[in-house]
Amino acid sequence: MVTPSLVKQYVYCPTLPWLEVRVGRLEPPTPSMESAILTADEKEEIAREAGIPPPYRVEIPLEYPRLRLRGVIDLVAGPHGRRGYWIMEAKKHPRRPRASKHFQAQLLAYALLATKTLGPVYRATLYIGGTTRTLEINQRHLQTAEKLVKKTLKIVEEEEPPLTRQPPQKCMYCFYRKLCPNANPHL
């Protein structure tokens, strides 16, 4: 099974999900990771501020075996009549704008997971450190998410890690850089 978090890692660097699945999640929580945990009340407050209509359910575990996808969605609102559900993924700390592509991929994977298990998702909001971005979910978004899930699954099932080239600044702070065959070609 893959998670939307592994899809996020795949978009950031295709080697990360392979390392995480094959080597194991070795990265201990840093103080900033621990301080980034949002409570259920904080998630609901963010949803209200973003204009997401209740009812809310927080930290909803879902699994869709057919795609081998599972995850825990930060917040699911609805259903709202025929439109369906509005979901939210929340990150407490701000990020650089260029860093949001992989978080958007994670959000789309959650939208796909919720659509396949709960019903149609019509909107998805990504909250990152005070900034929100809301997408009107369409079929193209769901197709993109499904392709990313399948690519991530393929990567983690391979015996050998994917060969990729990343900008050095991306690898500089990566916890897995000492284990990465792309950073250390002699491994």
Residue 136 maps to which CATH number? 3.90.320.10
Using a pLDDT cut of 90, give the percent of the chain over it: 66
Residue 17 pLDDT grade (very low, low, confident, very high; cuts 50, 70, 90): very high
Please compute the mean of the pLDDT values over residues 137-151 and round it to a whole number: 98
- Of residues 92 and 126, the one with the higher pLDDT is 126
Record the pTM.
Answer: 0.90
Instruction: Determine, yes or no, domain membership for 185.
Output: no
Instruction: Determine, yes or no, domain membership for 95.
Output: yes
Domain that holds residue 146: 4-172
Instruction: Determine, yes or no, domain membership for 101.
Output: yes
> Which of 15-19, 92-96, 114-118 is predicted least confidently?
92-96
Instruction: Give how many domains the chain has, as a whole number.
Output: 1
Asked if the bond preceding 162 is cis, omega within 30° of 0, the reply is no
- Of residues 129 and 10, the one with the higher pLDDT is 10
Please compute the mean of the pLDDT values over residues 41-66 and round it to a whole number: 97
| Distance (Å, whole) CA 126 – CA 144 | 17
Instruction: Determine, yes or no, domain membership for 63.
Output: yes
Sheet strands (E) in 10-155: 56-64, 69-80, 84-91, 121-128, 131-136
Instruction: Determine, yes or no, domain membership for 56.
Output: yes
pLDDT of the residue at 31: 57
Residue 161 pLDDT grade (very low, low, confident, very high; cuts 50, 70, 90): confident
| Distance (Å, whole) CA 16 – CA 175 | 10
Instruction: Determine, yes or no, domain membership for 111.
Output: yes
Instruction: Determine, yes or no, domain membership for 179.
Output: no
Instruction: Determine, yes or no, domain membership for 184.
Output: no
